[in-house]
């Protein structure tokens, strides 16, 4: 009995398909399963928390608090709800900063505040009280430094300044507005005109 090419072709095709199926089954067993992407879900949260930094003499110099703190392990981020930061360092005016929400750096040295950010600097012997408002503020706690790349409004004793981008060093008492600076100053009436 002679086998013709027309009879061998289906047998060869079936044999090739069987070999391919066998190889695919082996390859799929040996291939590692793709790693599951970690979810951005909290691993813990704390309500009404406060972190207080003390000087070497045991005096409280800085307190960071929030209505709620939530930690996410996938990127090691910490979200803050209604954060408030108060710095009371010697020879520096007291700073109080509040916002609707914020993020805390991994070492807790930097705070990123968002939405309705208000900074109040108390008056001292050298300067009056001041108030700053913006939508974003980056706080470097150890250096008493705050900065933003957004619009900021600064009010102090009948003066108001507005600018785009700002850096304020509370220790050195230096304020820098970066662009689009505008100001208004209230004039006081001379003593003869006041009755």
Residue 120 lies in a domain: yes
Element spanning 50, H or E: strand 44-54
Q: Can you read off the two tokens belonging to residue 96? A: 């109080």
**Cα separation of 69 and 143, whole Å?**
23
88 Cβ contact partners less than 8 Å away, ≥ 6 residues apart = 60, 61, 62, 94
Can you name the residues that pair with 168 across neighbouring β-strands? 146, 175
What pLDDT is stored for residue 151 in this prediction?
92
56 Cβ contact partners less than 8 Å away, ≥ 6 residues apart = none
What pLDDT is stored for residue 40 in this prediction?
75
Residue 21 lies in a domain: no
For residue 79, the enclosing domain spans: 44-144
Number of H-type helices and E-type strands within the chain? 1, 11
Residue 96 lies in a domain: yes
Residue 195 lies in a domain: no
Closest CA to 101 of 63, 152, 67: 67
Residue 131 lies in a domain: yes
What pLDDT is stored for residue 33 in this prediction?
62
What pLDDT is stored for residue 100 in this prediction?
95
- CATH number, domain of 104, equals 2.60.450.10
What pLDDT is stored for residue 137 in this prediction?
93
Q: What pTM does this model have? A: 0.69
Residue 189 lies in a domain: no
Residue 117 lies in a domain: yes
SS3 (DSSP) at 191: coil
What pLDDT is stored for residue 135 in this prediction?
93
What pLDDT is stored for residue 4 in this prediction?
64
Cβ neighbourhood burial of 6 (10 Å; 0-12, 13-18, 19+): exposed
154: left (phi over 0), alpha (psi -120 to 50) or beta: beta
Residue 56 lies in a domain: yes
Q: What is the DSSP letter of 100?
A: S
What pLDDT is stored for residue 99 in this prediction?
95
pLDDT tens string, the chain, 195 residues long: the values are 555 666 666 767 777 777 777 777 777 776 566 666 777 787 878 899 888 888 888 888 888 899 999 988 877 788 999 999 998 887 778 889 999 999 988 887 888 999 999 999 888 777 778 899 999 999 887 787 889 999 999 888 888 888 899 888 877 878 888 888 888 887 765 555 555
Domain count, the chain: 1
What pLDDT is stored for residue 128 in this prediction?
79
């Amino acid at each position: 009995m002679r086998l013709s090419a027309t009879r061998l072709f289906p047998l060869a095709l079936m044999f090739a398909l069987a070999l391919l199926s066998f190889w695919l089954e082996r390859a799929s067993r040996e291939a590692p399963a793709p790693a599951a992407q970690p979810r951005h879900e909290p691993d813990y949260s704390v309500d009404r928390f406060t972190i207080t930094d003390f000087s070497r003499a045991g005096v409280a110099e800085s307190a960071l608090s929030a209505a709620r703190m939530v930690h996410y392990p996938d990127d090691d981020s910490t979200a803050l709800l209604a954060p408030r930061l108060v710095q009371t360092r010697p020879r520096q005016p007291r700073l109080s900063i509040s916002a609707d929400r914020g993020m805390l750096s991994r070492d807790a040295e930097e705070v990123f505040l968002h939405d309705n950010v208000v900074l109040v600097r108390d008056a001292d012997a050298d300067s009056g009280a001041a108030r700053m408002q913006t939508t974003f503020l980056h706080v470097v706690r150890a250096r008493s430094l705050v900065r933003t790349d957004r619009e900021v409004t600064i009010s102090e004793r009948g003066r108001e300044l507005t600018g785009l981008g700002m850096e304020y060093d509370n220790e050195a008492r230096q304020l820098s507005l970066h662009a689009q600076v505008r100001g208004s100053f209230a004039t006081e009436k001379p003593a003869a005109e006041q009755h």
